[in-house]
Amino acid sequence: MVGTRRDVLLGGLALLGAGAIGRPVFAQASSFFAGTAVDNGITFRATNFARIDRRWHRQVVKYFSSEPIGTVVVDTRHHFLYLIMENKTAIRYGVGVGRDGFKWFGRATIDSKSLWPRWTPPPEMRKRHPELPEFVAGGSPKNPLGPRAMYLHRDGVDTGYRFHGTLEPWSIGKDASSGCIRMFNEDAIDLYQRCPIGTAVQVLPHIADQAPPATEVTAVE
């Protein structure tokens, strides 16, 4: 499902300063950000990619698949999202996926997309955590969806799962979400502009056992 209580609390606490969560923890989290960026009039903290393991950087890789060009394939075991391109290549993004008990697999389509989306905690989440707000406005530094959300539907029905940005860049490459696919905010912006409404999505347990090593990739700017 969309976001977690930890998403919201960490985002808000980070803004309040080191005293709220402990200076060493705050300092560690802050190292994952470097300055700010502006998108559609909203300023957000830019990811410090120098702090991020190279494997999670957005890059072009060799990719062999029977899926059509333009399909998005998610490898949940290895924490990669692939956008299939021409000439047996794909843009590969590092992602965070659902933790134990929240994983899901199957086919879907991107049936709607949002710039700086509002976050509304699902009813079941608010039942477990009644302290959560009814919603968090789009563009708020506490919004766990970040600058973009792509909503996944199956047979015309909202699955409740999304591709979206994150308040926690350190969670990319981990099983950390309530089922949604987290991306670096910059990557969520990039994927959003590449995926029109109707984009086919396949979420799999794993597909990357034969993936090329990191030395065989090309960075995507």
Q: Choosing from 57, 164, 195, 206, which is the catalytic residue?
A: 164
Indicate the average pLDDT of the chain. 82
Residue span of the structural domain in which 123 resides:
5-219
Query: Residue 165 — pLDDT band, cuts 50, 70, 90?
Result: very high
What is the arithmetic mean of pLDDT over 90-110?
Answer: 83
pTM given for the model: 0.80
- Tell me: pLDDT of 25 over 70: no
Q: What is the pLDDT of residue 179?
A: 67
Q: What is the pLDDT of residue 2?
A: 42
Active site residue 180: yes
Active site residue 164: yes
Q: Choosing from 153, 180, 195, 206, which is the catalytic residue?
A: 180
Q: How many domains does the chain have?
A: 1
Q: What is the CATH number of the domain that holds 55?
A: 2.40.440.10
The first and second tokens of residue 6, run together, are: 């930890």
Q: 102: burial class by Cβ within 10 Å (0-12, 13-18, 19+)?
A: middle
> How many CA within 13 A on the CB side of residue 125?
21
